[in-house]
Amino acid sequence: MTLDLNPPSPVSPAVDFDADGKQHGALRLPWSRDDSAWGAIHIPICVVRNGDGPTALFFGGNHGDEYEGPIALYDLARLLKPEDITGRVIIVPALNYPAFRAAKRTSPIDGGNMNRIFPGRPDGGITEKIADFVTRGLLPLADVVLDIHSGGKTLDFVPFAAAHFLADKEQQARCMAAAEAFGAPFAVRMREIDAAGMLDTSAEALGKTFVTTELAGGGTATPETAAIARHGVRNLLKHAGILDGVPERQETRWLTMEEAGTFAASPADGLVDYALALGDEVRRGEPVARIIPHGSTGAAPVTVTAPGDGLLIGRHFPGLVQTGDCVAVVGSLDD
Amino acid sequence: MTLDLNPPSPVSPAVDFDADGKQHGALRLPWSRDDSAWGAIHIPICVVRNGDGPTALFFGGNHGDEYEGPIALYDLARLLKPEDITGRVIIVPALNYPAFRAAKRTSPIDGGNMNRIFPGRPDGGITEKIADFVTRGLLPLADVVLDIHSGGKTLDFVPFAAAHFLADKEQQARCMAAAEAFGAPFAVRMREIDAAGMLDTSAEALGKTFVTTELAGGGTATPETAAIARHGVRNLLKHAGILDGVPERQETRWLTMEEAGTFAASPADGLVDYALALGDEVRRGEPVARIIPHGSTGAAPVTVTAPGDGLLIGRHFPGLVQTGDCVAVVGSLDD
Amino acid sequence: MTLDLNPPSPVSPAVDFDADGKQHGALRLPWSRDDSAWGAIHIPICVVRNGDGPTALFFGGNHGDEYEGPIALYDLARLLKPEDITGRVIIVPALNYPAFRAAKRTSPIDGGNMNRIFPGRPDGGITEKIADFVTRGLLPLADVVLDIHSGGKTLDFVPFAAAHFLADKEQQARCMAAAEAFGAPFAVRMREIDAAGMLDTSAEALGKTFVTTELAGGGTATPETAAIARHGVRNLLKHAGILDGVPERQETRWLTMEEAGTFAASPADGLVDYALALGDEVRRGEPVARIIPHGSTGAAPVTVTAPGDGLLIGRHFPGLVQTGDCVAVVGSLDD
Amino acid sequence: MTLDLNPPSPVSPAVDFDADGKQHGALRLPWSRDDSAWGAIHIPICVVRNGDGPTALFFGGNHGDEYEGPIALYDLARLLKPEDITGRVIIVPALNYPAFRAAKRTSPIDGGNMNRIFPGRPDGGITEKIADFVTRGLLPLADVVLDIHSGGKTLDFVPFAAAHFLADKEQQARCMAAAEAFGAPFAVRMREIDAAGMLDTSAEALGKTFVTTELAGGGTATPETAAIARHGVRNLLKHAGILDGVPERQETRWLTMEEAGTFAASPADGLVDYALALGDEVRRGEPVARIIPHGSTGAAPVTVTAPGDGLLIGRHFPGLVQTGDCVAVVGSLDD
Amino acid sequence: MTLDLNPPSPVSPAVDFDADGKQHGALRLPWSRDDSAWGAIHIPICVVRNGDGPTALFFGGNHGDEYEGPIALYDLARLLKPEDITGRVIIVPALNYPAFRAAKRTSPIDGGNMNRIFPGRPDGGITEKIADFVTRGLLPLADVVLDIHSGGKTLDFVPFAAAHFLADKEQQARCMAAAEAFGAPFAVRMREIDAAGMLDTSAEALGKTFVTTELAGGGTATPETAAIARHGVRNLLKHAGILDGVPERQETRWLTMEEAGTFAASPADGLVDYALALGDEVRRGEPVARIIPHGSTGAAPVTVTAPGDGLLIGRHFPGLVQTGDCVAVVGSLDD
Amino acid sequence: MTLDLNPPSPVSPAVDFDADGKQHGALRLPWSRDDSAWGAIHIPICVVRNGDGPTALFFGGNHGDEYEGPIALYDLARLLKPEDITGRVIIVPALNYPAFRAAKRTSPIDGGNMNRIFPGRPDGGITEKIADFVTRGLLPLADVVLDIHSGGKTLDFVPFAAAHFLADKEQQARCMAAAEAFGAPFAVRMREIDAAGMLDTSAEALGKTFVTTELAGGGTATPETAAIARHGVRNLLKHAGILDGVPERQETRWLTMEEAGTFAASPADGLVDYALALGDEVRRGEPVARIIPHGSTGAAPVTVTAPGDGLLIGRHFPGLVQTGDCVAVVGSLDD
């Protein structure tokens, strides 16, 4: 099946978005390369539909090294029954599939960081072509859009769903409500410093109810973090009226991330030794971590301090850090 | 200073092992390469000595992507005062320093896995040369030897110190006592399936009191796991009589790892979804994890079951798994 | 010599296109790189001219791993005598010369697939700069343009010359006649699904008589397939009135390639086992090949069936295949 | 199951060689690496047994880019029924499985060329460990050993089975008879110039009836060449008395390969243009191919001539050739 | 501090360009990558200011393998005292800092050749983003701009400062005077063949007094060449009235580089054997170097001759040369 | 022709060492690899012979990035006439030919540093096989052996010939006389710290008159340094009585290199700024160079001081230096 896009997209979906029932298919994208002149990428996609009703569009694997989304969405695609829903659920569990297969944040084909090249281009690189198809082919079909992120191999977060401060306050309220409905331990109001290139921005520009997440990280998933994602996707379907019932809710704490007072970067290369754990309270100027020089023993560490008051909600994950790496993310607590 | 080894080692230590006080130096190993014909590797080493007494020899960074050891040992080297000790402490916080700098388990120079090539060779590859110097130059100086491991980027463990079942029961008792004195939440009695090539084996063959550890993993460290290592090294110095005082002890649970019933491998490539968390109890045959095929949605996962009764003490860390990767390590609990 | 292009091209031809006689020269393109700050690429070119008359422009090596074209064209450049022709022959035997030297389909410099980036850009990457010079510098000089392709390392075809369905039916007729004159065992009428970026399209847009080919493949040439190319280039010169005589013709079978019913992709990764040989007749739905899973013995193969009726005219060449790779190309036979 | 080898092999077979029926299993070899600290390689193996009788041991994928062997042997493993045989068939369809997965002649892990490192070492590299297990664990179980080779990506041959000139003339007669029974279009008597390191040599040293093959090449398989392998393995089972019936035989031509007069190497780098096809007759000194310099048009090719009288039975496959590459293999015909 | 650019630049300078005194800071550029999702590049920058007066803007490391600039500018930044100057000096000693750290001409991140992508783009690759910030953020602040180049790893030059022939003759005179004031042994009037993409062009387009240099090369620096750079930067500050005093001058010889008669390229691959040393006089057609084929002994070398009359002012540095590499640069002497 | 070695060498020389006249041939070494299963390396060799007399054996390219040797020896091989000599000259201008083609110190095939793996092994890696053939096949043929080295890409030296302190004082005197006869500006008496693995040691062990050199460096050659090599090889042939005449001698200064007081290593990573030029006199403890940290401006450099009294005869060449790299080589002057 080909969507009627103009200009045409090189991506052709092997599913029918208008058919009732459940389909397991692929987004097919030609990819000529040295080891297969007429090769292609097949991105898994599942469409579940039962008559008229709202459409939810769920993405995992926007970055290829984040796993709560794919775990929850492969499961949802396998287990969700058409008869249990009203409307439509479109599931793309591993959006940047080449990156996902390579267990990398970005595409091994063209280095593309999927969440920095939206809205994409139909005649660009492989990653831009995928983004373009999402922008013009999938987003217009949806009412509610969820993009499940985690920290990936190099960042770690307390688990949260988030929505952005938006110019359209009605849309903002919809998004904030949906983020809360997701039901993660934390919910975050975000002001994006540089929103250019994000899937978020493309979805929001179309007026969609959009939710993003950061669910732990390190390039792995635990039973606990995968459960947050599994509950979250069903909670959101209930919130949207696609599944019956009300979202199962644990207690959610609201935080805010503004530009100032949020991020602290490493001033040096070295071995990072954290003084605080994720979720710890901290006040501006207090030590978060020390950077230990390792070229010889006996050298003095450099201290990184908190850029604001609040909770330590994000940190650098690997044991070594380089100058300029983000060491601390502090979210401010509501009073 | 050159140790009087026969055959000579290409490694020359820039410290005097017999001098009182504290020295920050290096093990220097010539390394001719395309980008520096007459280059060398400098492995940091610290020697702290105060008169006669026992010698403790502490290693971190045997594998280059394990961080609790380096954090604790760079700190110890910086903070330990000669006047506080009786005897000698030799600290090598990042033994496979090329691997440590590259944040890799193995050496980027020759692919050498340091803990699989002991006792090493003076005329072998770079990693073998380092191992040989440890075997012939450092181990003979020591009474107590500690090699701090964690899971690294691809494995994760409950934090434990361990000692091996040994033919010499007196030595075994010394090692078990030292492992317990380290004071991690768990202590493990291990029967190594294939002990060839390990630093452990070379140290034990010389009759030394030897302790190894696995302290979490994933290629990072947390305040909690770094604290275990920091307390552990001081506990061990107290246990050895080098520092005054008695080891600070938290409650330690003893486990046993034998060959049978301990390890479960993945039968397939896929996305791994754990049913159990580290530290959970499990019985043989119960599900530990599912391997989700990701080529298309809708395919059935494959279940990996526990190989024995006990606690899940180790797991695969990354979100993707390959056929043959170790998915579960089960330690049996003492009655 | 510099062609007077506006904007200027960085490519400067070291031949005079207007001089009588034979010149062996180069297209010189500056290429600053880490191992030669002021380096350049020299693409071999030969110009043979004898007074006024039509101009033929012959390309080989558009893809760097296809060899019938280079073999025939290096030979033609060496052997063709000015006194034997009327008009002009411009020969570029290895157009993507960096790819040709590297024995790769695409450029090792910028990954450029020459036949997907026409018309090129004078300020783009290396491959785009070459395409731009062809578009603006060489194509306008020509009456008849031939671009000799083969399957390369990853595809294999029955040997054919081809022309496209074009909006201008007079031009289409010229092209079809020239394709037949080439004298390969097969001739193909093609409807290109996605013609953007091809040399073909740039040549056709200028109204040129354009012929392309696919002459076997696998990244090699045999005496038989090289002979088809050698005869083909002389046949085309005769057809164009540049060489005396009439094309030597073997019996040519006409086939048609439309979008539908032509291509079959692999639904799985595996070892490919063909049931049919190139040139075999097949009907829609009949098995063409089986994809054998190789992770363990005993697993069931997946069958790929013919997408239409006709001859198997193209296939995947390497023994292993990936999901999405083109496994079968079926050309329909004229009644 | 662990074979009782001394010294022990790190390879453990997950099949029981003594059980009746058919088992699909693996040879498991631990492989610690940066992306899986406790990983392993699983080499597929199939054992089919029906009571007492001779044992045939069949290998494919000794080199990872040769496909007739794997195609025939995955098929045989899937289709062979225990009740159809008397004795035992052990099938390893992709012996150098890491190389096979990577579609390379040699191992991507350690560069090991499997057929140059026999008898292997239990404490060597990955490829040496596999070879050692074959030598000490599998070869002793067999009566008849077949190692199916093709030319791989860089060589091409007329299809033949072969046996070596051996000191033990009774063994040589057994091997020659088995080679003929295989039923390929050609059969070759070979004097190996340098037999060190080959699986052949290890098998022959144990007195086994050993057959090797070269069945076309280029890194692909055709229906024709796969059929030769499929018939060959069943013919050999019949010849050995494991399957009922007599080998199906096409007419086989015998050739001889000695050291002198067999091989011709390229004296230059360039584009290779063959004057002869595989199977063509040739006399010593006649042109086999020309090497065309490609740096500029107009340069004179260099001719490679036949090193002896006979048939051209092997050639270089890729379109480009380097100085020293084998361009021609000539087999002498029996009078 | 953020400069008020529109569109905004992703580069944020951690210095205040308007503050008196000396600041050592960085230009911070976010760089999301697989090994640090929220990483950044910190390009060192130093601002020294003392009240009102002219601004000098000095760059080193435009190409990452050229060392006289960085040596002189790290020194200047460390040693220059605010109280010694009138006005402002902005020092960027290693502009393409990723390339500088990698000791490469171009960026290891995106292959960017800094001096070929000006004026850059705020939404381009990493190197384009840096260029854009220079163009819009730094150049407008300056009166005098100096970009210190050397030959890098692959070229070598006699030491010279240079200015371009410009349409604005007053500006040209200013630039020529500044080039002479730099005080290198040679000064060159240059007509750039292709000025597109150079920092030079962006600075000149803003009417700045611009000087560039080539100070030896080979990817190293000597006491002599570093001294030329050290004196040059202070001479230029004196010439601009920022430092007191007059430039220290050695005798400077003026040369001219036009397009024609200046460059000679290698017609072949091989070992290069120079007949002339840098600075030697030569006449058009005389031998400069021989290219020795090395595939076998006994082959005849190819001679490269001088393209014009003058001095040999530049040469290829490495011992091997490829077809198209620049072998000789000849500057014409003033009468 | 095959030398009668036991065990046999895989290297076969395509020259006859006993024939009069001049032969340009190759040492042929089979090299099976992924891109040519039956490939080979051809190392150029030239043999010039005129009746009985002494044999000189000259090597260049022992390290692949040193060019004075290859320039002088390709020239000698091309120009030397059999009738001008008495005896035999064997010339191998690029011994580690794979490294030479790759412009690298060590072999791109196996990383082999040719001058660290003598005497080699016939069944080792490619580089070991070449070394073994030199040891057993070539050295025994010679009376005088010359191995021409330069500093290569990463070191630079004043030009000198050298001979070792040897246990056999008669041999030492022969070697010292030959080193002086070479006629470079400097001559050096060397005590090798670690002579294991060098060609020198293998030649000296056979009692040969052996000379080595270091002639400048940086991975290039100048007319001046190439001239030293060209004169040197002819001087040595005269000294040996193979060419008529007496060595042309410039004034040679004798230096001594012992283990102590000769080498200074860098204590840090950084940008290296030399205070002294090659050939400058220096006294122990005086500054030779400063290592400038480049992470930010304003940091203090680290000074490297001379390890002894004498001349600076060697230095690190590239602009960046790493901890442990050799920064200074000081040779002591004879009184």
Mean pLDDT across chain B: 96
Indicate the pLDDT class of residue C250, thresholds 50, 70 and 90. confident
Contact F37 D151 (CB under 8 A): yes
Among B198, B222, B257, residue at a domain's last position: B257
CA angle (A4 as vertex; A3, A7 as ends), nearest 5: 115
**Does B1 map to a domain?**
no
**Does E228 map to a domain?**
yes
Residue from B89, B83, B86 nearest B46 by CA:
B89
Average pLDDT of the segment spanning C225-251: 94
Burial code of C15-45, b = ≥16 C-beta within 10 A, e = fewer?
A: bebeeeebbbbbbbbbbbbbebbbbbbbbbb
**Does F186 map to a domain?**
yes
Average pLDDT of the segment spanning B145-160: 98
Residues of B in contact with F104 (CB under 8 A): 34
CB C287 within 8 A of CB C305: yes
Minimal-distance CA residue of chain A relative to B298:
A78
Which amino acid is present at C117?
A: I
CATH assignment of the domain containing C286:
2.40.50.100
**Does B82 map to a domain?**
yes
The predicted complex's ipTM stands at 0.96
CB pairs below 8 Å between D and F: how many? 51
Residue among D78, D218, D292 minimizing CB distance to C297: D78
Clarify whether residues A206 and A70 are in a common domain. Answer: yes
Which subunits have 3 or more CB–CB pairs within 8 Å of chain D? B, C, E, F
CB C148 within 8 A of CB C199: no
**Does F143 map to a domain?**
yes
Tens digit of pLDDT at every position of chain F (335 positions): 456 899 999 999 999 999 999 999 999 999 999 999 999 999 999 999 999 999 999 999 999 999 999 999 999 999 999 999 999 999 999 999 999 999 999 999 999 999 999 999 999 999 999 999 999 999 999 999 999 999 999 999 999 999 999 999 999 999 999 999 999 999 999 987 778 899 999 999 999 999 999 999 999 999 999 999 999 999 999 999 999 998 987 789 999 998 788 999 999 999 999 999 999 999 999 999 999 999 999 999 999 999 999 999 999 999 999 999 999 999 999 76
Q: Where are the beta strands (DSSP E) in chain C?
A: 12-13, 21-33, 36-50, 55-59, 87-92, 144-147, 155-157, 160-164, 186-190, 209-214, 253-257, 263-265, 270-274, 281-282, 287-292, 302-305, 310-316, 320-321, 326-333
Clarify whether residues E120 and E188 are in a common domain. Answer: yes
Average pLDDT of the segment spanning C66-86: 98
CA angle (B321 as vertex; B318, B325 as ends), nearest 5: 105
Q: How far is C103 from chain A (nearest CA, A)?
A: 10
CATH assignment of the domain containing D215:
3.40.630.10
Minimal-distance CA residue of chain D relative to C276:
D223
Contact A265 E37 (CB under 8 A): no
Tens digit of pLDDT at every position of chain D (335 positions): 456 899 999 999 999 999 999 999 999 999 999 999 999 999 999 999 999 999 999 999 999 999 999 999 999 999 999 999 999 999 999 999 999 999 999 999 999 999 999 999 999 999 999 999 999 999 999 999 999 999 999 999 999 999 999 999 999 999 999 999 999 999 999 987 778 899 999 999 999 999 999 999 999 999 999 999 999 999 999 999 999 998 987 789 999 998 788 999 999 999 999 999 999 999 999 999 999 999 999 999 999 999 999 999 999 999 999 999 999 999 999 76
Clarify whether residues B173 and B282 are in a common domain. Answer: no
Interface check F28 vs D, CB under 8 A: yes
CB F40 within 8 A of CB D268: no
DSSP B243: B
Interface check C124 vs A, CB under 8 A: no
**Does E20 map to a domain?**
yes
Q: What is the Cα–Cα distance from A14 to A2, expressed in whole angstroms?
A: 8
The burial of A260, by beta-carbon neighbours within 10 Å (0-12 exposed, 13-18 middle, 19 or more buried), is given as exposed
Cis peptide before C108 (omega within 30 of 0): no
Q: C84-109 pLDDT, tens per residue?
A: 999 999 999 999 999 999 999 999 99
Give, for D130, the enclosing helix (H) or strand (E): helix D126-133
Q: How far is B268 from chain F (nearest CA, A)?
A: 28
Clarify whether residues B188 and B251 are in a common domain. Answer: yes
Percent of chain F residues topping a pLDDT of 90 = 93
| N- to C-terminal Cα separation, chain A | 52
Interface check D7 vs B, CB under 8 A: no
pLDDT at residue D127, rounded to an integer: 98
Average pLDDT of the segment spanning C271-282: 98
Among D224, D257, D290, residue at a domain's last position: D257
Residue from F57, F47, F58 nearest F18 by CA:
F47
Contact C63 A37 (CB under 8 A): yes
Clarify whether residues D140 and D288 are in a common domain. Answer: no
The burial of F63, by beta-carbon neighbours within 10 Å (0-12 exposed, 13-18 middle, 19 or more buried), is given as buried
Q: How far is CA C262 from CA C290, C306, C333, in A?
A: 18, 8, 12
In chain A (335 residues long), the average pLDDT of successive 10-residue segments reads 81 96 97 95 98 98 98 98 98 98 97 96 96 98 98 98 97 98 97 86 98 98 98 98 89 90 95 98 98 96 97 98 97 85
Give, for B44, the enclosing helix (H) or strand (E): strand B36-50
Contact E273 F71 (CB under 8 A): yes
Clarify whether residues F173 and F189 are in a common domain. Answer: yes
Clarify whether residues B234 and B102 are in a common domain. Answer: yes
Contact B269 C295 (CB under 8 A): yes
pLDDT at residue A3, rounded to an integer: 66
Among D257, D292, D320, residue at a domain's last position: D257
Q: E133-142 pLDDT, tens per residue?
A: 999 999 999 9
Interface check E326 vs C, CB under 8 A: yes
- Inform me whether the pLDDT recorded for B2 exceeds 60: no
Average pLDDT of the segment spanning C175-195: 93
Which amino acid is present at D202?
A: S
Residues of E in contact with C42 (CB under 8 A): 323-324
Residues of F in contact with A265 (CB under 8 A): none
**Does A7 map to a domain?**
no
Mutate to test the interface with C, among E322, E327, E329, E330 (most CBs of C within 10 A): E322
Minimal-distance CA residue of chain B relative to D32:
B113
Q: How far is C326 from chain B (nearest CA, A)?
A: 17
- The residues, any chain, with a CB within 8 Å of residue C314's CB and separated by 6 or more, are C151, C155, C156, C157, C158, C214, C278, C326, C328, C329
Beta bridge partners of B21: B49
CB A146 within 8 A of CB A59: yes
- Inform me whether the pLDDT recorded for C271 exceeds 70: yes
Q: F273-322 pLDDT, tens per residue?
A: 999 999 999 999 999 999 999 999 999 999 999 999 999 999 999 999 99
Clarify whether residues E267 and E251 are in a common domain. Answer: no
Q: What is the Cα–Cα distance from A228 to C257, expressed in whole angstroms?
A: 51
Phi, psi of E291 (to 5 degrees): -105, 115
Q: How many domains does chain D have?
A: 2
Clarify whether residues D242 and D267 are in a common domain. Answer: no
- Inform me whether the pLDDT recorded for C1 exceeds 90: no
Minimal-distance CA residue of chain D relative to F42:
D324
Indicate the pLDDT class of residue E17, thresholds 50, 70 and 90. very high
Clarify whether residues C242 and C208 are in a common domain. Answer: yes
CB A49 within 8 A of CB A87: yes
Global pTM? 0.96
Interface check C216 vs A, CB under 8 A: no
Q: B209-226 pLDDT, tens per residue?
A: 999 999 999 999 999 999
CB E191 within 8 A of CB E164: yes
Mean pLDDT across chain E: 96
DSSP E268: S
Q: E64-106 pLDDT, tens per residue?
A: 999 999 999 999 999 999 999 999 999 999 999 999 999 999 9
List the structure tokens of B241: 């009589």
Q: B12-37 pLDDT, tens per residue?
A: 999 999 999 999 999 999 999 999 99
CB D58 within 8 A of CB D149: no
Clarify whether residues C231 and C134 are in a common domain. Answer: yes
Contact C268 B295 (CB under 8 A): yes
Contact B326 D38 (CB under 8 A): yes
Residues 65-94 of D with CB under 8 A from C: 65-67, 70-71, 74-75, 77-78, 91, 93-94
pLDDT at residue D335, rounded to an integer: 65
Structural domain that includes position A162: 12-257
CB A26 within 8 A of CB C268: no
**Does C6 map to a domain?**
no
Clarify whether residues C209 and C306 are in a common domain. Answer: no
pLDDT at residue C335, rounded to an integer: 65
The burial of E291, by beta-carbon neighbours within 10 Å (0-12 exposed, 13-18 middle, 19 or more buried), is given as buried
